[in-house]
A and B are shown apart, each in its own frame.
Chain A
Amino acid sequence: MRIGNMTSALGVRRETGERIQPAEVVRRCAADGFEVMDINLCGLHRGPGMFRGEGWRKAAEELRNEAEKCGVSFVQSHLPYRSMSMKPDVELFSTPEGAEKYRELSLRAIEITHILGGKWAVIHPMNDREAVVGDNEAHIQYNLRILDREIELCHKLNVGLAFENIFDQYHLRRFGMRALELKQLIDYCHDPLIQACWDVGHGNITTEDQSAAIRVLGDHIKALHIHDNNGRDDLHVFPFTGTVKWESVMNALYESGCKADLVLETTGSRMPDHLRDEEQKMLVSICKHLVSLYQ
């Protein structure tokens, strides 16, 4: 199990408000001790960025070269996801053109994952709002329907789709909150390229002890999102600053045969620039300790 970070890890430069670009994040994370990276493309559909223009393929190739130069590799990505409450997403999906643009960028994100050498693209499962709540089969069919082009592209490029465990929001039941629901989807597809991502922070919100859920998915877990919280809110704080039972989580991952890398998904740093690397080195120490518990 190697330790990794997302390209969103360094957040926005406090001093200027400018987002720190993936190449700089890769360089700094590598220097601070991380071994693998996750290309975070969650916001690809929400605004400008290095992958929005015509030269996105070249940008991805350059980023891969940069990572290789630094001795780190991309192992996974976070695909764009559709928020039902965020204004830009609601607006985007209000027109057929907007929805098609999103689709184009969702496919592009899979291709970027491939160019970077990533093996797994993490995606949030969606609810079929026309179906009966709890009708998992309907939700599974819906996800496979709305992601048909993504799944086809994944097969063409040999990149897997990892469906992530999510959590109920505003008391609305969501499909994909339970490990058993993800397992049902995986079993239904019976496809080595359709597997699971386990988000430990989300697991802490939805269960008292997530080790049972982890054991349900076992080696179907191909990607990890590592962060902590207070058991109520999706805070994305550092491991060991919330209530996650890390000892039991790491043991369950080991015993159930999960072979994914340990990839942090903490909130983008808000530290002053000269303290960011100190903070990241602290996170490297935390990750190494977590890996020592993977037994």
Chain B
Amino acid sequence: MRVGTMTSLFRGRRESPEYIGYIESIRRCHQAGFRVLDMNMCALSRRQTTLHQDDWKQQVDEIANEAARLGMEFVQSHPPYRGRLDLELMSTPEGAEFFENMMLRAIEITKMLGGKWCVMHPATDLTVETGDIEAQIEYNKKIFAKELELSAKIGVGLAFENMCDAGNRRKFCVTADELIALMDSCNSEYVGICWDVGHANRMMDNQIPSLLKLGDRIKALHIDDNRGKDDLHVLPFTGFIPWEEVMHALYVGGCKADLIFEIGTCGDKMPECLKDEAARLCYKVGEHLVSLYK
């Protein structure tokens, strides 16, 4: 298990609405100590990266070259997901088509960067009973049909992530059993699971049995902390997650994924002059977490 981070560790700026680009982000991640990366493309469908442009392949080559020069490795990615921020886009046929194209592009980008897994948010079909697992699985296989086809064709896996309920509105794939049912129904070596430790901390008092049940089905990790209520995405050991138990369960369960931070510590709230020091602290925390993987 290696210590890694999403490229979004450096993205937003407190001082201006401009985003930090991928090249600068990976350089600063490298400076902080990171060598393993997740290509975060959540904002691709909102045209808030430059990868929606026509020269995206050239841009990806430049990112890949810079990562190679620095000795950094992309292991996974976070493509766009059907979330609150994309609802408006998805409300028109043209918008939905653009979203789909960007999802497929994100999978191709992951392959170009050498990543093995693309993390996907499972969707919940609100037109059927949310607990009707068979119906939910069929819905997900339908809406992810093109992604499943492309990923198998080019040899990049899709890792379905554990979700959070929205208040008392249940969502599909909050539990280990639902994730396993979805994964098994696909019957493909290119389908696995991503476990977001922070999401699990919001949805269950004790995530350890779920981790042990999922074991080596977990192909990607999202590492972040919270206090059990909101999805704070804060640095581990600043929330309430029992990290010693989580890391031990990942080890005993046989999870072989890298430890990937999905935190906002150096995000758009932190002044530029403090971000690099904060990122170094994040890396040290990551090293400690990996030392608990035993």
Contacts and interface: CB of A to CB of B under 8 A. Distances in A.
A241 B284 contact: no
A271 B270 contact: no
A272 B14 contact: no
Contacts of A271: 237-238, 285
Given A235-B227, A289-B271, 13 more contacts: A14-B237, A235-B232, A240-B270, A240-B274, A241-B265, A269-B237, A270-B238, A270-B239, A270-B240, A271-B285, A272-B288, A289-B273, A289-B274
Given A279-B281, A285-B277, A237 B238 contact: yes
B230 interface: yes
Interface of B is mostly: loop
Interface in B251-274: 264-265, 269-271, 273-274
Contacts of A209: none
Contact of B278 (A232, A270, A274, A282): A282
Interface of A: 14, 230, 232-233, 235, 237-238, 240-243, 267, 269-272, 274-275, 278-279, 282, 285-286, 289
Contact of A286 (B229, B239, B274): B274
A275 B237 contact: yes
Contacts of B14: 240
Contact of B269 (A233, A241, A282): A241
* Chain B contact patch, size range: 20 to 34
A270 B237 contact: yes
Contact of A275 (B270, B278, B284): B284
26 contacts: A230-B230, A230-B232, A232-B230, A235-B227, A237-B234, A237-B238, A240-B269, A240-B274, A241-B234, A241-B264, A241-B265, A242-B269, A243-B269, A270-B237, A270-B240, A271-B237, A271-B238, A272-B237, A272-B288, A275-B281, A275-B285, A278-B284, A282-B274, A282-B277, A289-B273, A289-B274
Interface of B: 14, 227, 229-230, 232, 234, 237-240, 264-265, 269-271, 273-274, 277-278, 281, 284-285, 288
A227 to B, nearest CB: 12
Contacts of A274: 288
A242 B264 CA distance: 10
Most buried by B among A230, A269, A270: A270
Contacts of A237: 232, 234, 238
A24 B48 CA distance: 47
A282 B281 contact: yes
Contacts of B227: 235
Contacts of A238: 238
Given A233-B230, A289-B274, A278 B281 contact: yes
Contacts of A243: 269
A274 B271 CA distance: 26
B248 to A, nearest CB: 14
A285 B230 CA distance: 27
Contacts of A272: 237, 288
The 7 closest A-B pairs by CB, nearest first: A271-B237, A240-B270, A270-B237, A282-B281, A240-B269, A278-B281, A285-B277
Contacts of B239: 270
A15 to B, nearest CB: 9
B293 to A, nearest CB: 14
B270 A241 contact: yes
Contacts of B265: 241
Given A237-B234, A241-B234, A241-B264, A275 B288 contact: yes
